[in-house]
Amino acid sequence: MYIPSHFEMTDVTVACKMIRENSFATLFSQHEGAPYATHLPLILDKETKYLYGHFARLNPQWKDIDKQVVLAVFHGPHCYISPSWYETNKAVPTWNYVTVHVYGEIELIEDENELMNCLHDMVAKYEAPNSSYSLQHLDEEFLSGLNKGVQGFKLKIKKIEGKAKLSQNHSLHRQELVIQQLEQIPKTDEREISSLMKENLKVSKEV
């Protein structure tokens, strides 16, 4: 990924936090000699060594992905930045965003217990804290049938790189103007980008 130095996410813990909060990823690999992608949730383990997920067995991507070095892309908040928000009209439109790329080698999960643990962790992550739903409550025969319909995998992480494009290449005053405009837009991404810009601006002023 092209990352100018002022947009580089140098803190791995920040990148991992972004992954955990935006865990629906795009997984790219080579399938039959051509690029192939699947959109799916990926769970980062506590030691940040692996990403865990599963394919539908009808998805052909898994059939030749074992031992491939692949790319998982995690998309954070993003939004349009209008030059009309600046103090001058000598500027062009741009886009602010946060993204993390993870590179690693795929290992297919063949052990049913390991697959079940992965599925339990995934359901536990996305279910509400007071939810009554759990895989433990499902009929074992029914659950076994469901497991046969998926192919589990783990991605052994080799490299994590993050990019947070938050107008750092503009003056502090211009960044403040952008924040003011974003806070007026009642949309989630704009508010999240505004919050991230505020945090970054605070650090810049302290340096």
Provide DSSP, 135-158.
GGGS-HHHHHHHHTTEEEEEEEEE
Closest CA to 153 of 94, 35, 36, 72: 72
Reading the block at residue 88, the tokens are 């001058």
pLDDT in tens, 160-190: 999 999 999 999 999 999 999 999 999 999 9
pTM: 0.91
CB atoms closer than 10 angstroms to residue 49: 12
pLDDT at residue 142 above 80?
A: no
**Amino acid (one-letter) located at 44:** L
What is the residue extent of each domain of the chain?
Answer: 5-169
Q: At what angle do helices 140-147 and 112-126 cross, to 10 degrees?
A: 100
Reading the block at residue 31, the tokens are 């399938």
pLDDT band at 26 (very low <50, low <70, confident <90, very high): very high
Which option is the CATH number for 5-169: 2.30.110.10, 3.30.70.20, 2.40.50.140, 1.20.140.10?
2.30.110.10
> How far is it, in rounded angstroms, from Cα 55 to Cα 153?
8
Q: What is the mean pLDDT of residues 29-47?
A: 97
Residue pair 44/16 in contact (Cβ under 8 Å)? The answer is yes
The predicted structure's pLDDT at residue 12? 95
Residue pair 167/175 in contact (Cβ under 8 Å)? The answer is yes
pLDDT at residue 60 above 90?
A: yes
Scored b (16 or more CB within 10 A) or e, 94-111 reads: eebbbbbbbebebeebee
